[in-house]
Amino acid sequence: HHHDIRDLLAFSLTEQKRYEEALTVCRETVGGTPMTREMEGRSCWVLLKSGKPVEAIEAMEQLLKREPDYIWIISLLANCYR
């Protein structure tokens, strides 16, 4: 799966603190298709890891409005409020 490779790349870039590059990878559209929920979720995680919790929380809340059953994001958001 193409998004799996991009997800690994975004994860790796984030671990290297190359946050802007990681976000770019997450937000790239492939062949004009919209961002997958997995890549949108990864971009939320990158924002969180990059020290932008307000932006991350807003992005997660927007994602959950469209994908209310997305367990990973529900969990990620819940951790923000602990």
pLDDT digits over 35-52, tens only?
Answer: 889 999 999 999 999 999
Angle (CA) 64-11-33 rounded to 5° is 55
How far is Cα 33 from Cα 44, in angstroms, rounded to an integer? 19
CB 14 within 8 A of CB 50: yes
Burial of 36 (0-12, 13-18, 19+ CB in 10 A): middle
Q: 24-38, 45-59, 61-75: lowest mean pLDDT where?
A: 24-38
Task: Write down the pTM of the prediction.
Answer: 0.91
